[in-house]
Structure 1
Amino acid sequence: MQRVTLTIDDDLLAAIDAHGERHGYASRSEALRDIVRSALGTPETAADDGARCHATLSYVYDHEKRELARRLTEVQHGHHDLAVASLHVHLDHDTCLEVAVLRGPTAQVKALADSVTTQRGVRYGHLHLLPESGEHEHGHAHGHSHDDGHGHG
């Protein structure tokens, strides 16, 4: 492990300390390491765009923006093979939140996220990538049954 000296302003340090306290970190270093990891993504998804991933794409947009809902639908239909599920929420009269669950090659998932979040009228977007575990690609290996209690599983 390397020791790094960092110079930051007082307000940012106070925000880091508050974050660390809120989340129960034992030290400022632990909080900063997790903040940096979060900003960079996991090594698996940050470094290997050829790997497969699971992801959530959340974005807020102005549904009154001309043709935006149609454009967003077209982008998603153009990548239908990546979409697992989606949730649409009306936040207020003018604003909607959508959350899409995605799965596929990391580069394609990132490209879909970029094509959604760069649309004019999308106010905020965030892609959260998780590497796909090889053991779950062809079945379940986590040691328990998916029995629903009625003998169906």
Structure 2
Amino acid sequence: MQRITIAIDDDLAAQLDAFMQETGAVSRSEAIRDMVRRGLSARPDGPPTAPCFGVVSCTIDQSVRNLAARVPQGRLERHDQTVAALSVPLDHTTSVDVTVMRGQVGDIAAYAQALFLERGVMHGALSLIPVVEDKAHHVHNHGAPHAHTHLRVKSGF
């Protein structure tokens, strides 16, 4: 077994202690191992190249150095994948940010994980929606028939 050292703030330590009481964990190490296992099992389960939409949500501490500028810059760098973004102020320093992205599972999951690891980002969640592109040959608005693609949401990957 490997030994690691982590630093967490007092509020998070109190939540960890409460989690230990709720679950019956006998040590912080046991509780953290349990949460790491759960986090790893909740990773995106689709094939890395599968097409999808991803909904990335998190809270952002706007007072953390340059974070308020880095998050939008990260979306701009992925302008071809970013469909929509919303930032809602919650208090004087914190906002909830929601980004809808389109692309491959691996790309969207990598973006979300990198964002969630940023200092000042909390409560990160990624929801993936599997899609498939169907080619269709039909008429819209009484025009000439032409082939184009439509997205269809799938029930799973």
Shorter-normalised TM range:
0.5 to 0.7
Structure 1 counterpart of 2:98: 99
Specify which structure has the higher proportion of helix: 1
State the one-letter code of the partner of 1:139.
H
Show CA shifts across 1:44-101 (max 9, x none). x614011111110001011111111111122111111110001110001111011001
CA 1:141–1:73: 2 relative to 1, 3 Å: closer
With a CA cutoff of 8 Å and minimum separation of 6, indicate the structure with the bigger relative contact order.
1
**TM-score under structure 1 normalisation?**
0.60
Structure 1 counterpart of 2:72: 73
Show CA shifts across 1:86-122 (max 9, x none). 1110001111011001110111111111221111111
Q: CA deviation at 1:135?
A: 3.3
* Structure 1: 5+ residue stretches without partners: 1-10, 13-35, 143-153
Specify which structure has the higher proportion of strand: 2
**Among the aligned pairs, what percent are the same residue?**
30
Distance 1:125 1:141 in 2: 27
CA 1:95–1:139: 2 relative to 1, 3 Å: same
Structure 1 counterpart of 2:131: 132
CA 1:68–1:135: 2 relative to 1, 3 Å: same
SS at match of 1:124: strand
* Structure 2: 5+ residue stretches without partners: 1-21, 24-37, 136-147
Alignment of 1:1-153 (within 5 A): 11=22, 40=42, 46-135=45-134, 138-139=149-150
Q: Which runs of 4+ in 1 moved over 6 A?
A: none
Q: Does structure 1 retain, via aligned residues, the 8 Å contact 2:131–2:152?
A: no
Distance 2:60 2:151 in 1: 37
RMSD: 2.9
Distance 2:97 2:134 in 1: 30
SS at match of 2:150: coil
SS at match of 2:110: helix
**TM-score under structure 2 normalisation?**
0.58
